Amino acid sequence: MEGVGGVAAVSTIASVSNPKSADMAKGRVGLALAVAGILIAGCSSQEQETHYISLTAAQMAGAVHQGWVPEWLPKNAHNLKEKHDPDTSRSILRFNFPESDKWVPSSSCLRIHPSEVRGPGMTAPWWPKDVPSPNAATPRHTYYACSGAREFLAVDFPHGEALYWRPQ
Protein backbone atom coordinates (compact mmCIF):
# COMPACT_ATOMS: atom_id res chain seq x y z
CA MET A 1 0.00 0.00 0.00
CA GLU A 2 1.19 3.49 -0.82
CA GLY A 3 -0.11 6.59 1.01
CA VAL A 4 -1.99 9.26 -0.92
CA GLY A 5 -2.78 12.43 1.03
CA GLY A 6 -2.70 10.55 4.31
CA VAL A 7 -5.02 7.84 2.94
CA ALA A 8 -3.83 4.36 2.06
CA ALA A 9 -4.41 3.53 -1.59
CA VAL A 10 -5.37 -0.09 -2.23
CA SER A 11 -3.72 -1.90 -5.09
CA THR A 12 -5.14 -5.19 -6.37
CA ILE A 13 -3.63 -7.42 -9.05
CA ALA A 14 -6.20 -9.50 -10.95
CA SER A 15 -5.60 -12.65 -12.83
CA VAL A 16 -5.94 -12.24 -16.61
CA SER A 17 -7.34 -15.77 -16.88
CA ASN A 18 -10.39 -14.89 -14.74
CA PRO A 19 -12.34 -11.85 -16.10
CA LYS A 20 -14.82 -11.94 -13.20
CA SER A 21 -11.94 -11.63 -10.75
CA ALA A 22 -10.56 -8.69 -12.77
CA ASP A 23 -13.95 -6.91 -12.66
CA MET A 24 -14.14 -7.38 -8.89
CA ALA A 25 -10.63 -6.06 -8.50
CA LYS A 26 -11.47 -2.97 -10.59
CA GLY A 27 -14.55 -2.41 -8.44
CA ARG A 28 -12.52 -2.60 -5.23
CA VAL A 29 -9.92 -0.18 -6.59
CA GLY A 30 -12.67 2.19 -7.73
CA LEU A 31 -14.34 2.03 -4.33
CA ALA A 32 -11.02 2.63 -2.55
CA LEU A 33 -10.31 5.66 -4.75
CA ALA A 34 -13.81 7.05 -4.17
CA VAL A 35 -13.42 6.70 -0.39
CA ALA A 36 -9.97 8.30 -0.57
CA GLY A 37 -11.40 11.21 -2.56
CA ILE A 38 -14.15 11.78 0.00
CA LEU A 39 -11.67 11.66 2.88
CA ILE A 40 -9.30 14.09 1.17
CA ALA A 41 -12.17 16.46 0.29
CA GLY A 42 -13.35 16.30 3.91
CA CYS A 43 -9.93 17.47 5.09
CA SER A 44 -9.78 20.50 2.81
CA SER A 45 -9.93 23.95 4.32
CA GLN A 46 -13.04 26.09 3.95
CA GLU A 47 -11.39 29.51 4.09
CA GLN A 48 -13.84 32.38 3.82
CA GLU A 49 -13.08 35.89 2.64
CA THR A 50 -15.19 39.01 3.11
CA HIS A 51 -14.86 42.74 2.43
CA TYR A 52 -16.58 45.32 4.65
CA ILE A 53 -16.84 49.00 3.76
CA SER A 54 -16.59 50.00 7.43
CA LEU A 55 -16.27 48.67 10.97
CA THR A 56 -19.99 49.34 11.40
CA ALA A 57 -20.74 47.09 8.40
CA ALA A 58 -18.55 44.34 9.92
CA GLN A 59 -20.39 44.70 13.23
CA MET A 60 -23.79 44.51 11.53
CA ALA A 61 -22.72 41.36 9.64
CA GLY A 62 -21.67 39.70 12.91
CA ALA A 63 -17.95 39.54 12.09
CA VAL A 64 -17.01 41.24 15.38
CA HIS A 65 -19.33 39.03 17.43
CA GLN A 66 -17.92 35.90 15.73
CA GLY A 67 -14.38 37.07 16.50
CA TRP A 68 -13.09 37.49 12.93
CA VAL A 69 -12.77 41.26 13.37
CA PRO A 70 -11.46 42.61 16.72
CA GLU A 71 -13.79 44.95 18.59
CA TRP A 72 -10.94 47.35 19.40
CA LEU A 73 -10.38 48.59 15.84
CA PRO A 74 -10.57 52.35 15.36
CA LYS A 75 -14.20 53.51 15.11
CA ASN A 76 -13.47 55.02 11.68
CA ALA A 77 -11.85 51.83 10.30
CA HIS A 78 -12.82 51.30 6.69
CA ASN A 79 -12.04 49.07 3.70
CA LEU A 80 -11.79 45.97 5.89
CA LYS A 81 -10.66 42.84 4.04
CA GLU A 82 -10.93 39.71 6.15
CA LYS A 83 -10.13 36.05 5.53
CA HIS A 84 -10.49 33.22 8.03
CA ASP A 85 -10.54 29.47 8.41
CA PRO A 86 -13.36 28.45 10.78
CA ASP A 87 -11.74 25.04 11.38
CA THR A 88 -8.41 26.41 12.66
CA SER A 89 -9.37 29.95 13.80
CA ARG A 90 -6.53 31.36 11.67
CA SER A 91 -7.42 34.73 10.23
CA ILE A 92 -5.99 37.78 8.50
CA LEU A 93 -7.44 41.28 8.32
CA ARG A 94 -6.36 44.41 6.51
CA PHE A 95 -8.00 47.77 7.21
CA ASN A 96 -7.47 51.49 6.80
CA PHE A 97 -8.07 54.34 9.21
CA PRO A 98 -7.78 58.12 8.90
CA GLU A 99 -4.19 59.09 9.75
CA SER A 100 -5.57 62.23 11.37
CA ASP A 101 -7.36 60.11 14.02
CA LYS A 102 -4.04 59.40 15.78
CA TRP A 103 -5.32 55.89 16.56
CA VAL A 104 -3.57 53.96 19.34
CA PRO A 105 -3.89 50.14 19.37
CA SER A 106 -5.69 48.36 22.20
CA SER A 107 -3.98 48.08 25.57
CA SER A 108 -4.04 44.29 25.02
CA CYS A 109 -1.43 44.85 22.28
CA LEU A 110 2.19 45.32 23.32
CA ARG A 111 4.81 46.71 20.96
CA ILE A 112 7.40 44.09 19.94
CA HIS A 113 10.48 43.82 17.74
CA PRO A 114 9.76 42.60 14.18
CA SER A 115 11.89 39.49 14.80
CA GLU A 116 9.36 38.35 17.44
CA VAL A 117 6.45 38.20 15.00
CA ARG A 118 5.04 34.89 13.74
CA GLY A 119 3.68 34.72 10.22
CA PRO A 120 -0.06 34.50 9.62
CA GLY A 121 -0.13 30.96 8.20
CA MET A 122 -2.37 32.07 5.34
CA THR A 123 -2.35 34.71 2.66
CA ALA A 124 -4.56 36.54 0.18
CA PRO A 125 -3.90 38.67 -2.92
CA TRP A 126 -4.40 41.82 -0.83
CA TRP A 127 -1.99 40.72 1.95
CA PRO A 128 1.41 42.48 1.60
CA LYS A 129 4.45 40.30 1.01
CA ASP A 130 6.52 42.23 3.57
CA VAL A 131 4.34 41.33 6.58
CA PRO A 132 5.83 40.03 8.66
CA SER A 133 8.97 41.84 7.59
CA PRO A 134 11.69 39.60 6.14
CA ASN A 135 14.16 42.38 6.95
CA ALA A 136 13.75 43.33 10.59
CA ALA A 137 16.15 46.25 10.15
CA THR A 138 13.84 48.32 7.93
CA PRO A 139 10.19 47.48 8.60
CA ARG A 140 7.59 49.98 7.45
CA HIS A 141 5.20 48.79 10.16
CA THR A 142 5.15 49.02 13.92
CA TYR A 143 4.51 45.51 15.28
CA TYR A 144 2.42 44.45 18.27
CA ALA A 145 1.66 41.16 19.99
CA CYS A 146 -1.93 41.07 21.21
CA SER A 147 -3.77 38.79 23.61
CA GLY A 148 -0.62 37.17 24.97
CA ALA A 149 1.07 36.81 21.54
CA ARG A 150 -1.80 34.73 20.12
CA GLU A 151 -2.58 37.61 17.75
CA PHE A 152 -0.40 40.13 15.92
CA LEU A 153 -0.86 43.63 14.58
CA ALA A 154 1.27 45.59 12.10
CA VAL A 155 0.47 49.29 11.77
CA ASP A 156 1.70 51.74 9.14
CA PHE A 157 0.72 54.91 11.02
CA PRO A 158 1.81 57.46 8.37
CA HIS A 159 -0.38 55.77 5.73
CA GLY A 160 -3.34 54.81 7.95
CA GLU A 161 -3.09 51.08 7.23
CA ALA A 162 -3.07 48.14 9.62
CA LEU A 163 -2.88 44.36 9.41
CA TYR A 164 -4.08 41.97 12.08
CA TRP A 165 -3.70 38.19 12.15
CA ARG A 166 -4.14 35.08 14.28
CA PRO A 167 -1.68 32.38 13.22
CA GLN A 168 -3.12 29.44 15.20
Residue 36 has pLDDT above 50, yes or no: no
Note whether 139 and 159 are same-domain residues: yes
Note whether 28 and 94 are same-domain residues: no
Dist CA 67 CA 37 (whole Å): 32
Question: What does residue 34 show for φ and ψ, rounded to 5 degrees?
Answer: -65, -45
Note whether 38 and 121 are same-domain residues: no
Q: How many CB atoms lie within 10 A of CB 126?
A: 13
Note whether 129 and 55 are same-domain residues: yes
| Number of domains forming the structure of the chain | 2
The DSSP secondary structure of 73-123, one letter per residue, reads S-TT-EEEEEEE-TTT--EEEEEE--GGG-----TTEEEE-GGGPPP-S--
Note whether 91 and 16 are same-domain residues: no
Note whether 13 and 57 are same-domain residues: no
82-96 mean pLDDT: 95
Note whether 10 and 78 are same-domain residues: no
Note whether 127 and 151 are same-domain residues: yes
Note whether 30 and 83 are same-domain residues: no
The domain of 106 spans 48-166
Residue 44 has pLDDT above 80, yes or no: no
Note whether 32 and 53 are same-domain residues: no
pLDDT at residue 23, as a whole number: 55
11-28 mean pLDDT: 48
Note whether 86 and 158 are same-domain residues: yes
pTM of the model: 0.71
Note whether 77 and 130 are same-domain residues: yes
75-79 mean pLDDT: 97
The answer to whether the beta carbons of residues 107 and 98 sit under 8 Å apart is no
